[in-house]
Structure 1
Amino acid sequence: MCCLFLSMVLIGPRFAFLLVWVFGDRVELIWDSWIWPLLLLLLLPWTGLAYVLMWSAAGGVSGWEWIVVALGVVADVASYSARAARREYGSRYA
């Protein structure tokens, strides 16, 4: 059960971002090239997904919507730091 949860946390936002990119038009409206979405997909998937979902054609991301994007940043940092902590403490106490 833990492995299923971990794989959904790591692969889930990438899969959702990829679905939004392929089947939607928001990513093309936000960025002119494919480089930024690809970098977000690989490195910061929660942040990219939050930014794409909060973006509006009228004004981009504004106001309280930035809090959702900041939560995406926190989720990305937490996922990377959890892997590093597990690697550090797992090897020390195994």
Structure 2
Amino acid sequence: MGCILTFFTFLFPRAAFFVIWMARPSLVNDAFDTFLIPFFGLFIFPYTCLVYVVLHEQGGVSGAEWIWIAVAVVLDVGNMAGGFVQRGEYASRYPPPWVKG
């Protein structure tokens, strides 16, 4: 069961974070002081928020746990960059109608 949840988390980080937030809101409330950070994190940095909530559960983030958060930030930035690259490739195949050629 744990492997299925881990696989689900890697495929759908926003859904996994949302499920944790709805199932155990005290975890998210303990990790963040305000509603805005997890709300925007749900859309912008889902891996980072998910990892921070999971690591904060054991009493706060300290020491080597920041490495996991850095890995999550890299995953989030890579995910966003991949979307920008895909959008650029799609746009380059279809020039705007005012460009003749």
With normalisation by structure 2, the TM-score equals 0.72
Q: Which runs of 5+ in 2 are unaligned?
A: 1-7, 95-101
Closer/same/farther in 2, CA of residues 9 and 18 from structure 1, 3 Å limit: closer
The structural deviation recorded for 1:9 is: 8.4
**Which residue of the partner structure matches residue 17 of structure 1?**
17
2:54 corresponds to: 53
Q: In the aligned structure 1, how far is the partner of 2:57 from the partner of 2:32?
A: 13
Percent sequence identity over aligned pairs: 31
1:89, CA displacement in angstroms? Answer: 2.4
More helix per residue? 1
* Distance in 2 separating the partners of 1:62 and 1:9: 23
| Residues 18-50 of structure 1 deviation map (CA, whole Å, 9 limit, x = unaligned) | 111111121111223322111111111011001
Equivalent pair of 1:51/1:61 in contact (CA under 8 Å): yes
Instruction: Give the count of matched residue pairs.
Output: 86
For 1:61, what is the secondary structure of its paired residue?
Answer: coil
Provide the aligned C-alpha RMSD in A.
2.4
C-alpha deviation, 1:51, in angstroms: 0.6
Q: Which runs of 5+ in 1 are unaligned?
A: 1-7
Highest Rg: 1 or 2?
2
Q: After TM superposition, where is structure 1 displaced by more than 2 Å over at least 4 residues in a row?
A: 8-11, 89-94
